[in-house]
Chain A
Amino acid sequence: MSRSRSAGADFDALIGPHLDAGYRTALAILQDPHQAQDAVQESALKAWRKLHQLHEGSPARPWFLAIVANQCRSERRRRWWSVIRVPEVPQAQHEVDSHTADIGRELAKLPREDRLALFLYFYLDLPLEEVGSVLGLSAGGAKTRVYRAAKKLRPGLEMD
């Protein structure tokens, strides 16, 4: 019993702070809160089983988010999910700025990996090193991915 409690406490200390970011990443990829919840739970259990693969001193957040992203990709690859499904709809919001609505539609049209790069960098505010870890790229590769994806939204964009 105490062994279980200890395991839970250790897990909570290591991964718990990143569960929210994991869920939001899963939601961004799967577009369905129920699937996102399932994916993050499955990812947490995988992370716990693979804990020995996390090198000492390495940050847990990008490692966990990479597991979440892989889990979501795996979900999408399944035949059942390889087709378009109807996620919970974002309710019609007349008051939403039309510019935001436009860029939302442009984001929806991006390839999934480009969209994920923008989500991690601009929404979760991850540094490029961590974006790269999640996407399986170097920091430079992540920068290029983010830049190219952003340029698809704004063709004339110059990267700072």
Chain B
Amino acid sequence: MDDLRSEIRAAFEKEQSGHAPASAMRSDIVDAVAAQGRPSRNFQWVAAVAAILLAILVVVGLMSTRFAPRASVPATTPKPTSAIGEYGPPPPGVNLLYARDPEHPTWLISYDWSGNPRGTIKLDGAIGSVGMAPDGQEFAVGYGAKGGSGELLDRLGKPIPGTGAIAGKAGPIWADDNRHTCGVSLDAQTLDWTFVTLSPGEKVKSVAVIAHEPVAGGQTGLRLAACSVRNDQAILVRTTIASPTEMWVVRVSDGTVLSHNTFSESIANVIASRDGTLIAENSTKSGGLVGPTTPNTIIRRVSDRSVVATLDPSLGVLAFGSNGSSVLVTTSPWIGQQAIHLAVLDFRSGYVLWRYDGPETLGTYLAEPGITGPGFAIGLKEITGTDDPLSDVVIVGGKGETKLTGRYNLVW
């Protein structure tokens, strides 16, 4: 019991450290009480007036709290030259993060999630942009790039024979097994949206037609929010004039529509967990949108649409962690070329695990797959007014943050 007492004390000490009460708190409060005078039950109207004044003060205080400058993680400086080199073949079965070697544009350097370099692969010079699978054990050519071929490469960067390609402007996403990719394709003649999957060594599989485009060249689009091979469940979202309007939950294996919902309220966007079990409906405020506002950002269970967590509307979920309880959020709208405000929080307890308030802006982010902790890798870019390809990398885990030395052109 004594051990536990010490541990609990230490945990509360840590929580309270750095937040000592203001030195003048006692005298301020005593002055406030003195200004009220001695309470009298015969003059309760005085207390009522004071309560109203205090309410105003509290509201003003709360507003000042909301708009007060936030604490920030120290800036990601200094920025020494990247420690790049040949690290040999990357290890199998280890989650890796890849970045291009600035000295050798066709080389990719891998780092593990502790920030240690683990391997180098040398791509064929004819291969353009690549995107890594979330575990760093496979690559897709042109992933995320307009007109990319979508062909798959193995963990050493070699083409996987016999593999087809998901092409098209609606970029494919990696399934939660980190091997399949999933996408949607629009038939220009029939205006049908088809859900497609690609497995290494196979041709693209057209699984099922999910939705129909009302008019050619209209202002709607369909995208995949999640594709879970493990749970045989994908989530597709239709966006109409930049706002999500419909959501389908379909079986990955045969395209059966398990549920179809429409969004009655205007929301900024829908983010899904990679296993397809949770979605976040981000408030319009979190997206910096004008017009009708949604009261909160909501996290729902996909199976029954029950509310799992209600977040402040200023919070916009970017990604779910693999542990089913952490989320990477923006705490104010993400605006290009402006300092980003981020947090990683446990949405089941409300505990904030990490926070960042500039000075850089957000480049990219990734949740570490298949772990029990709140692992996120975040690429932060300097605000230069140009599209700087290099990013600082911060890895947020259960024990705090790790920063990679140097700046990188990331492939995730």
**A residues with CB within 8 A of B:** 3-8, 10-12, 16, 19-20, 23-24, 27-28, 31-38, 40-42, 44-45, 48-49, 51-52, 80, 82-94, 96-101, 103-105, 107-109, 118-119, 122-123, 150, 153-154, 157-160
Contacts and interface: CB of A to CB of B under 8 A. Distances in A.
Interface string B321-359: 000000000010000000000010111111110110000
Given A8-B31, A44-B29, A44-B32, A94 B8 contact: no
Nearest to A106: B11
Interface in B7-45: 7-19, 21-22, 25-26, 28-39, 41
Contacts of B312: 83-86
A3 B16 contact: no
B92 to A, nearest CB: 28
A40 B28 CA distance: 11
Contacts of B50: 45
Contacts of A158: 1
Contact of B73 (A34, A92, A99, A154): A92
Interface residues on B, range: 35 or more
B352 A122 contact: no
B15 A92 contact: no
A105 B350 CA distance: 11
A83 B346 contact: no
B400 interface: yes
A11 B30 contact: yes
B58 interface: yes
Given A84-B311, A86-B345, A45 B21 contact: no
A31 B31 CA distance: 26
Contacts of A48: 33, 36, 39
22 contacts: A8-B34, A10-B38, A12-B26, A27-B19, A28-B12, A34-B65, A38-B61, A38-B62, A45-B33, A86-B70, A86-B352, A86-B355, A88-B70, A90-B352, A91-B18, A92-B73, A92-B400, A94-B400, A99-B7, A104-B11, A104-B15, A108-B349
